[in-house]
Amino acid sequence: MTTASVPLPAWINYGLIPLLNLILAFFFSGLVVWAIGESPFEALQLLLIGALGRGEGIGFTLFYTTSFIFTGLSVAVAIHAGLFNIGSEGQAYLGGLGAALVALAMDHYVPWYVTMPFAVIGAALFGAACAAIPAWLQAKRGSHIVITTIMFNFIVSSLMNYMLVRVLIVPGKMAPETRTFLPGGQLPKLDWLIAMFGGKLGAAPLNFSFLIALIMCFLVWVLIWRTKLGYEMRTLGISPTAASYAGIRYSKIVMITMLISGGLAGMMALNPVMGASARLQIEFVGGAGFVGIAVSLMGRNHPAGIILAALLFGILYQGGAELSFDMPSITRDMIVVIQGMVILFAGALEYMLRPAIVRFYQQLTGK
Amino acid sequence: MDYFDIFISILGSAIRLSIPLLFTALAGLFSERAGIFDIGLEGKMLASAFAAACVAYWTGNAWLGLLGGIGVSIVFSFVHGFASITNRGNQIVSGVALNFVAAGLTIVLGQAWFRQGGRTGQVPPEGRFSSIVLPGADMMRDVPIIGPLYAHVISGNNILTYIAFLMVPISWWVLYRTRFGLRLRAVGENPGAVDTAGISVAWMRYRSLIVAGFLCGFAGTYLSIAQSAAFINNMSAGKGYIALAALIFAKWKPVPVMLACLLFGFLDAFANFMQGKSLPLIGEVPVQIFQALPYILTCVLLAGFIGTARPPKAGGVPYTKER
């Protein structure tokens, strides 16, 4: 008998298997560290201390976590409807334009808490706009969403390049970026959150968008598991034919799902653009959209899991940066390798260990 | 410079820019025709560029470099196959993972081995593929129209360029005129039927991935030791995705793949040429439009406005035997 259809208890499915996959990913990453002549254990220790040792480190870790929660949610929402949105990267990039335009327009006149809701809407609208055409192509013309969203990553990249180099650049400056937003266009730092635990935020850019990310996690949970729309999305994701038989309109759900997904990705831009650098910079997304794929996979597309997975990647990002200071022979790009390994083992190879675990479980329970 | 000379020089650089696309798109052709989506083309190209540069640097032999590039590319193909064929994982996720691993590993290893911020050492001239002057190129130079075309576009390329164009008819022949090709295409359309005929779907798909790895190795090698003289950080710079776009634009057929790659190469060369220049009547055209054009064209095609692009039917779906 094959093992694929044997049901396993939740703690194995959602706890043990992801954990074992993660350990494998770290094992192979450790091999790379060992191969270039450094101690993997020492590296891991430096990484953890760098990410969690001081208040500033934690601030940076949570800053990265914020971005990954947004992009992770973006990918997860689409996956629930059976759509693979690989374009969170581009949607976040265009979302930055939305946030920046709002900040540039309002920062002279109003305090940040007036600007913020408009910026959230602006970022989400621009992100959703970027997802709209691939969504329409999938819904109405049957073009594969994976391919079109990849294409849109590049189209947006060219567009933003043009906007920053030709339109939004400060006259007389060389750097392709907008002017620095006044405090009315910035999101405040969360010093008090770190101070509550007795640490100091220092230069870390942890900001208000962290709280927005947590609110979005809750809203996504409500949407997917507590609303009619979420039910229809999940139905479509599990069985498109059953969904159509039940009278769920395919093109409508695809459009709505992708708009939400793009909107969530767009909101990611609030964190680096309005929270950290207070200006729109070129290539500010820096791969966070692709990390979102890994985060969503690891978090099993559930907001709670996504927070944990985003935290893991936040630790990797911040710890990896610190690690490259302490061990000069390991560059910052080691985290890219670890990411790749995590996506490979927790994502593509997620069923590799399952047959062995099923057999072990059956022996253990005597069935 | 008169317009014809400009045209010839753009055409020459278009050919040079389209070669990595051509190898990679042909690689994608084999894997996608067998029903395996290959987002990891980008990573394979990058990894093989790195391997080729390393081997050529150490041995001073370009052909060994090529072998190294092909070897690493095939290893990546095997990982992709292990994840998506043997373990029935998601092919897109596996490809994304390989792109990450390649992007990170090339820099980490490059820094550890060469300590030049991710660059490899400068490959000596004998470790590179240099341009070949075809017989009679100098003599022909003064013949109007055909002369410059022969001397600057057809002659003066390196051996990999000619291999790339040779691969087009070979790929066509393998896919459409051999038993292997027929089965490969069948496995991408209806793996159940192939299985019923007693042919292993998994092994067929593995073989298609090996071919893809082989071709992708050429693309990476071309980047690092034919077009330039060292590996540079992230030197594939999205070419794997443009090749993917070209493959779709060509509707998964070998000869159109060549034409699509030449078109996209031409756009790239034209964008380079147009940098800072202005057209009559229109004025200065932003280069970003040319950079985005391959992707826009592919989307328009996918939307069904220029014919229809029908992908292999079983693409992206792991094959499970019925129980």
Predicted confidence (pLDDT) per residue in A3-36, tens digit: 667 778 888 887 888 889 889 999 999 999 998 8
Sign of CA dihedral B215, B220, B221, B223: positive
Specify the pLDDT at position B281.
Answer: 64
Q: CA of A331, closest CA in chain B: separation in Å?
A: 6
A 156-195 → B contacts, CB under 8 A: 158-159, 161-162, 166
**What's the number of domains chain B is made of?**
1
Mark A100-120 as b/e (b = at least 16 C-beta within 10 Å): bbbbbebbeeeebeebbebbb
SS3 B157: coil
Contact B93 A348 (CB under 8 A): yes
**Which residues from chain B sit within 8 angstroms of residue A348, using beta carbons?**
83-84, 87, 89-91, 93-94, 97
For tokens 């913020």, the residue is: A116
pLDDT grade, residue A352 (50/70/90)?
Answer: confident
A321 close contact with B: CB closer than 8 A: no
d(CA B52, nearest CA chain A) in Å: 19
* The one-letter amino acid at B322: E
The pLDDT-based confidence of A2 (bands split at 50, 70, 90) is low
- Residue B43 · residue B216 · CB < 8 Å: no
Distance CA A363, CA A7 (A): 14
Determine the Cα–Cα distance for residues A229 and A225; give it in Å rounded to an integer. Answer: 9
Domain edges within chain A: 61-316
In a domain, B310, yes or no: no
Predicted confidence at residue A254, as pLDDT, reads 94
In chain A the first and final C-alpha atoms are separated, in Å, by 13
* Shortest alpha-carbon distance between residue A35 and chain B (Å): 9
- Cβ pair B108:A341 closer than 8 A: no
What CATH number did the domain enclosing B198 receive?
Answer: 1.10.3470
8 Å CB contact of A334 and B108: yes
**A271 has a pLDDT exceeding 80:** yes
The answer as to whether B313 is a domain residue is no
A37 touching B (Cβ < 8 Å): yes
B321: DSSP letter: -
In angstroms, the CA A29 to CA A43 distance is 11
With beta carbons under 8 A apart, name residues in chain A contacting B309. 143
Residues of B in contact with A293 (CB under 8 A): 93, 96
Question: pLDDT value at position A367?
Answer: 60
> Which ranges in chain B belong to alpha helices (H)?
3-33, 41-59, 62-81, 91-114, 137-140, 146-148, 159-177, 179-189, 191-196, 201-221, 239-249, 254-274, 287-302
Range of A77-86, A173-182, A183-192 with top mean pLDDT: A77-86
Task: Report whether pLDDT(A354) > 90.
Answer: no
Distance CA A209, CA A67 (A): 9
C-alpha distances out from residue A95 to A277, A286, B288, Å:
15, 14, 19
**Average pLDDT, stretch A49-53?**
88
A329 touches B: beta carbon within 8 Å: yes
Q: What is the pLDDT of residue A159?
A: 93
Cβ-in-10-Å burial (0-12, 13-18, 19+) of A218 comes to exposed
* Span of A175-189, A259-273, A319-333 with lowest mean pLDDT: A319-333
Q: Decide if B89 is inside a domain.
A: yes
H/E stretch holding A253 reads helix A250-267
> Which parts of chain B register pLDDT below 70?
1, 276, 280-283, 305-309, 322-323
Of the candidates B18, B16, B243, B224, the residue with the CA atom closest to the CA atom of residue B106: B224
Q: Please provide the size of chain A in residues.
A: 367
pLDDT tens sequence across B268-298: 888 888 776 777 666 677 878 888 888 888 8
Indicate yes or no: CB of A329 within 8 angstroms of CB of B97: no
Mutate to test the interface with A, among B247, B299, B305, B320 (most CBs of A within 10 A): B299
pLDDT at B128: 84
Q: Identify the residue whose tokens are 């072990």.
A: A360
Q: Which residues of A touch B251 (CB under 8 A)?
A: none
Distance CA B22, CA B160 (A): 11
Please report, to the nearest 10 degrees, the dihedral formed by the alpha carbons of residues B304, B31, B236, A346 taken in order. 100
Q: Do A151 and B323 touch (CB under 8 A)?
A: no
CB spacing of B292 vs A159 below 8 angstroms: yes
CB contact under 8 A, A333 and B104: yes
Asked whether the beta carbons of A17 and A300 are under 8 A apart, the reply is: no
**Residue A213 confidence (pLDDT):** 96
Q: Please name which of A91, A158, A153 lies closest in space to residue A127, comparing C-alpha atoms.
A: A91
Quick: pLDDT tens for A112-144.
999 999 999 999 999 999 999 999 998 888 778
Establish, for the pair of chains A and B, how many residue pairs have beta carbons separated by less than 8 Å. Answer: 149
Give this complex's ipTM: 0.86
From the CB of residue A8, how many other CB atoms can be counted at a distance below 10 Å?
A: 16
Which residue would you say has higher pLDDT here, B314 or A185? A185
Would the CB atoms of B108 and A331 count as touching at under 8 Å? yes
Query: Are A70 and A260 within 8 A, CB to CB?
Result: no
Residue of B nearest to A154 (CA): B292
**Start-to-end C-alpha separation, chain B:** 70
Domain of B137 in residue numbering reads as: 12-302
Please tell me the predicted confidence (pLDDT) of residue A1: 47
CB contact under 8 A, B102 and A340: yes
Q: How sure is the predictor about A199, in pLDDT bands with cuts at 50, 70 and 90?
A: confident
pTM for the complete prediction?
Answer: 0.89
Let me know if residue B22 belongs to a domain: yes
Alpha carbon distance B275, B295 (integer Å): 20
Q: Is A333 in contact with B107 (Cβ distance < 8 A)?
A: yes
Look up tokens 């040429």; give the residue. Answer: B273
Q: Are B26 and B240 in contact (CB under 8 A)?
A: no
Does residue A74 contact residue A262 with C-beta atoms inside 8 Å?
yes
Of chain A, the percentage scoring pLDDT greater than 90 comes to: 51
Chain A positions touching B47 (Cβ under 8 A) are: none
CATH class belonging to A61-316: mainly alpha
Say if the Cβ atoms of B302 and A148 lie within 8 Å. Answer: yes
Contact assignment for B98 to A155 by CB distance below 8 Å: no
Whether A339 has its CB under 8 Å from any CB of chain B: the answer is: yes
Other C-beta atoms closer than 10 Å to the C-beta of A209 total: 32
Beta-carbon separation of B299 and A336 below 8 A:
no
Residue A27 identity: F
Q: Which residue has the higher pLDDT, A283 or A144?
A: A283
Give dist(CA A98, CA A126) in Å, integer. Answer: 5
| Cβ–Cβ below 8 Å for A154 and B101 | no
With b for 16 or more beta-carbon neighbours within 10 A and e for fewer, the B45-83 pattern comes to bbbbbbbbbbbbbbbeebeebbbbbbbbbbebbebbbbb
CA-CA-CA-CA dihedral for A215, A216, A222, A227, to nearest 10: 140
Chain B residues within an 8 Å CB radius of A150:
39, 241, 244
Write down the pLDDT at residue B3: 78
